[in-house]
């Protein structure tokens, strides 16, 4: 099972991507490469366009009026920006947000609803929902109360449910936008462990403020910085490289906590 998953995890390459909202450039000329099955951490101070970058990959930014994305984004060799069918794209690329946002439905409906929307055959839905809940370690905790409101779960559980909701569509890539920053330390650890378990099966790009977390989880790191009003990529390398042997002075300063 996991062998098949590793085969499916694609490579993710960003080439000179820029995101502009109207006149304001959020981030420019961002390039990075995530190897199949790897987790890359996207770090840097607030405001340097990391979330915008993430949104350009699953084309969430398409919905924002006045937003223009430049550059190329390759998913296993295919240019994402040329795709016509966003539904399939967003099935392949799942996203989890900083603030847990389960729907105001029951726990099980949070998973069944997207499955129904994506026309997954009825017979398979329950099984996939259960598998997703097992993957995030929630199954034992909620199996007795699947029809209770999802909003009744704790913050950490809600976030794990949101991850399950993304996983239930069987994506290949996961985009995580500071998934732990709204959680308490205990829940944060649990979600971190979950993310670690997902490595290998999925290609993951994770935005985080927490450098220690990046060190713990990431295979590779991209450091972003603010130049004037807009963000840019400063360094992108393997995890140890970036932390032990930074090539760029800003990286060194940021990682030492002296800047940002």
Residue 62 or 78: which CB sits closer to other proteins?
Answer: 62
Provide the mask over 99-128, with x wherever binding to other proteins is found by CB under 8 A and - wherever it is not.
xxxxxxx-------xx-xxx----------
The interface region with other proteins, picked from 3-11, 90-98, 130-138, 190-198 by CB under 8 A, is 90-98
Looking at 6, 16, 24, 87, which residue binds other proteins (CB under 8 A)? 87
Residue 42 or 174: which CB sits closer to other proteins?
Answer: 174
With contacts defined by CB under 8 A, how many residues of the chain interact with other proteins? 31
- Give min distance, CB of 140 to other proteins, in A: 25
Asked whether position 67 contacts other proteins by CB under 8 A, the answer is: no
Residue 86 or 253: which CB sits closer to other proteins?
Answer: 86
- Cα(178)–Cα(40) distance, rounded to whole angstroms? 13
Residue 95 or 242: which CB sits closer to other proteins?
Answer: 95
The interface region with other proteins, picked from 84-92, 221-229, 233-241, 248-256 by CB under 8 A, is 84-92
Looking at 32, 60, 180, 204, which residue binds other proteins (CB under 8 A)? 60
Cα 3 to chain centroid distance, Å, stands at: 22
The interface region with other proteins, picked from 17-25, 41-49, 88-96, 209-217 by CB under 8 A, is 88-96
Residues 30-59 that bind other proteins (CB under 8 A): 58
Work out whether the CA dihedral 192, 215, 240, 47 comes out positive or negative: positive
Residue 60 or 136: which CB sits closer to other proteins?
Answer: 60
Looking at 91, 126, 209, 215, which residue binds other proteins (CB under 8 A)? 91
Residue 138 and residue 197 in contact, taking contact as beta carbons nearer than 8 Å: no
Residues 162-201 that bind other proteins (CB under 8 A): 162, 165-166, 169
The terminus-to-terminus CA distance of the chain in angstroms comes to: 42
Asked whether position 94 contacts other proteins by CB under 8 A, the answer is: yes
DSSP the chain: -HHHHHHHPPPEEEEEEEEEETTEEEEEEEEEEE-TT-EEEEE--TTSSHHHHHHHHTTGGGGSTTEEEEEEEEETTEEGGG-S-HHHHHHHEEEE-SS----SSBHHHHHHHHHHHTT--HHHHHHHHHHHHHHTT-HHHHGGGTTSBGGGS-HHHHHHHHHHHHHTT--SEEEEESTTTTS-HHHHHHHHHHHHHHBTTBEEEEE-S-HHHHHHH-SEEEEEEEETTEEEEEEEEEHHHHHHS-SSHHHHHHHTTS--
Contacting residues toward other proteins, per CB under 8 A: 58, 60, 62-63, 65, 84-87, 89-91, 94-95, 97, 99-105, 113-114, 116-118, 162, 165-166, 169
């Amino acid at each position: 099972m996991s062998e098949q998953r590793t085969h499916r995890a694609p490579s993710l390459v960003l080439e000179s991507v820029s995101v502009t909202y109207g006149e304001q450039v959020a981030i420019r000329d961002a390039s990075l490469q995530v190897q199949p099955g790897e987790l890359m951490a996207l770090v840097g101070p607030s405001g340097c366009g990391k979330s915008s970058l993430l949104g350009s990959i699953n084309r969430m930014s398409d919905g924002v009026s006045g937003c223009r994305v430049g550059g190329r984004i390759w998913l296993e060799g295919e240019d994402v920006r040329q795709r016509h069918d966003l539904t399939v794209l967003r099935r392949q690329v799942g996203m989890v947000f900083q603030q847990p946002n389960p729907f105001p439905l029951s726990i099980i409906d949070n998973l069944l609803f997207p499955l129904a929307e994506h026309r997954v055959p009825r017979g398979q839905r329950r099984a996939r929902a259960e598998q997703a809940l097992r993957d995030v370690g929630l199954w034992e905790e909620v199996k007795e109360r699947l029809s209770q409101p999802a909003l009744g779960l704790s913050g950490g559980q809600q976030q794990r449910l949101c991850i399950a909701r993304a996983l239930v569509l069987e994506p290949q890539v996961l985009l995580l936008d500071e998934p732990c920053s709204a959680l308490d330390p205990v829940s944060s650890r649990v979600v971190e462990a979950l993310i670690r378990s997902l490595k290998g099966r999925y290609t993951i790009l994770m935005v985080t403020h927490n450098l220690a977390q990046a060190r713990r989880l990431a295979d590779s790191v991209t450091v972003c910085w603010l130049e004037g009003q807009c963000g840019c990529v400063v360094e992108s390398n393997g995890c140890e490289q970036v932390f032990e042997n930074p090539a760029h002075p800003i990286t060194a300063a940021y990682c030492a906590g002296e800047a940002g």
